[in-house]
């Protein structure tokens, strides 16, 4: 079977009302400041949920935008895939709540857990459902409420992570169509899971008042080690996606990487042979929103006019697990 099977018909994104600057973070009493954070991460601000803002509400708003731009009605959605590492509830999936909020009564809906790679994994699964005839129209969401699982006394993590949601509608590409997903790649390595993880919060540790420590439910990260593996894995993923699409770096009009921090982005672009003027960066405004970062950046790029018809756009991500993946899409 010959690609493309599916194309991106519409995109959207949503963030909380409250923007939190680096100065706001420093004012919490942490030993940090705007210059220190920006120099190491490229982040100036991030959005954090307030009262009444949930993963489901952010996801629903991003999805409404994507569906409107795609010209898709709720009844046309066959499947909803929500990539997240911070669901509103462990049971049931947040995706079913989003389904209800959107009125997509005939859709199957499920969460997908691949951390920062969640949206790309979701796109690959969505394309597969379309390719095998199980769906015509798939709504893929990447969303996080990381403020709920971050230790706000740990400057190594709380300065990075943020909340938000992005969405894309995938539709079947009819015979002869040229736009759509040209190649994809995904991999994982669970041997290094404890470099970026939440030690507790699931069912692995029975609750015990004697040993319970609330901080074990927060994200823990070995930053330097994660950086090295992120650059290496994202470099591999860009190579694989280009090879599968039978393209070279010169053919890529725009690279949209996971917005982890600007140093990882620069290192990935350098390996791929793509100049920074062809790399989309908005980590300065949104921080690291994990699974939401690529769909937020995609919609941001679309709204800025950075993506035009006929362009080749490459996406690449790396996240806890470890997981990593890439896509090449012709718009």
Q: pTM here?
A: 0.94
- Per the annotation, the verdict on 258 as an active-site residue is yes
- pLDDT computed for residue 201 by the predictor: 67
Contact indicator for 5, 180 with CB cutoff of 8 Å: yes
Q: Which residues of the chain have pLDDT under 70?
A: 1, 197, 200-215
CATH code of the region 6-172: 3.40.47.10
- Per the annotation, the verdict on 22 as an active-site residue is no
State the number of CA atoms in the 13 A half-sphere of 293 facing the CB. 34
Catalytic residue among 13, 258, 261, 299: 258
- pLDDT computed for residue 310 by the predictor: 95
Q: Where are the domains of the chain?
A: 6-172, 180-202+214-330
- pLDDT computed for residue 317 by the predictor: 95
- Whole-angstrom Cα distance, residue 2 to residue 199? 43
Q: Going by C-beta distance under 8 Å and a sequence separation of 6 or more, which residues neighbour residue 231? A: 264, 267, 268, 271
- pLDDT computed for residue 287 by the predictor: 97
pLDDT 10s digits, 48-86: 999 999 999 999 999 999 999 999 999 999 999 999 999
Please indicate whether the domains covering 6-172 and 180-202+214-330 agree at the CATH topology level. Answer: yes
- State the CATH architecture for 180-202+214-330: 3-Layer(aba) Sandwich (3.40)
Nearest of 127, 132, 136 to residue 106 by alpha carbon? 136
- pLDDT computed for residue 174 by the predictor: 84
Catalytic residue among 22, 116, 261, 299: 116
- Per the annotation, the verdict on 116 as an active-site residue is yes
Catalytic residue among 22, 261, 288, 299: 288
- pLDDT computed for residue 2 by the predictor: 76
| Three-class HEC string of the chain | CCCCCEEEEEEEEECCCEEEEHHHHHCCCCCCCHHHHHHHHCCCEEEECCCCCCHHHHHHHHHHHHHHHHCCCHHHCCEEEEECCCCCCCCCCHHHHHHHHHCCCCCEEEEECCHHHHHHHHHHHHHHHHHCCCCCEEEEEEEEEHHHCCCCCCHHHHCCECEEEEEEEEEECCCCCCCEEEEEEEEECHHHHHHEECCCCCCCCCCCCCCCCHHHHCCEECHHHHHHHHHHHHHHHHHHHHHHHCCCHHHCCEEEECCCCHHHHHHHHHHHCCCHHHECCCHHHHCECHHHHHHHHHHHHHHCCCCCCCCEEEEEEEECCCEEEEEEEEC
In the block, residue with structure tokens 């669901």: 87
């Amino acid at each position: 079977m010959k690609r493309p099977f599916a194309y991106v018909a519409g995109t959207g994104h949503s963030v909380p009302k409250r923007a939190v600057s680096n100065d706001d973070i420093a004012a919490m009493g942490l030993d940090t400041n705007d210059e220190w954070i920006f120099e190491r991460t490229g982040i100036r601000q991030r959005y954090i949920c307030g009262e009444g803002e949930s993963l489901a509400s952010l996801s629903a708003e991003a999805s409404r935008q994507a569906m409107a731009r795609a010209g898709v009605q709720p009844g046309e959605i066959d499947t909803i895939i929500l990539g997240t590492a911070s669901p509103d509830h462990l049971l049931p999936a947040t995706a079913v709540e989003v389904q209800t909020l959107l009125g997509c009564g005939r859709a199957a809906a499920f969460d997908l857990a691949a951390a920062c790679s969640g949206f790309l994994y979701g796109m690959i699964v969505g394309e597969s459902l379309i390719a095998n005839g199980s769906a015509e129209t798939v709504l893929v969401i990447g969303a996080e409420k990381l403020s709920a699982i971050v230790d706000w006394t740990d400057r190594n993590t709380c300065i990075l992570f943020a909340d938000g949601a992005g969405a894309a509608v995938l539709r079947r590409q009819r015979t002869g169509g040229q736009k759509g997903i040209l190649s994809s790649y995904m991999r994982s390595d669970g041997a290094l899971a404890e470099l970026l993880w939440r030690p507790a919060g699931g069912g692995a540790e029975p609750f015990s008042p004697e040993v319970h420590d609330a901080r074990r439910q927060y994200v823990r990260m070995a930053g330097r080690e994660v950086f090295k593996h992120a650059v290496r894995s994202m470099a591999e993923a860009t190579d694989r996606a280009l090879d599968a699409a039978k393209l070279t770096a010169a053919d890529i009009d725009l690279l949209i990487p996971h917005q982890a921090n600007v140093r990882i982005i620069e290192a990935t672009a350098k390996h791929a042979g793509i100049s920074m003027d062809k790399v989309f960066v908005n980590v300065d405004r949104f921080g690291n929103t994990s699974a939401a970062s690529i769909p937020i950046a995609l919609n941001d790029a679309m709204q800025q006019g950075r993506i035009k018809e006929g362009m080749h756009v490459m996406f690449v991500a790396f996240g806890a697990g470890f997981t990593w993946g890439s896509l090449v899409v012709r718009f």
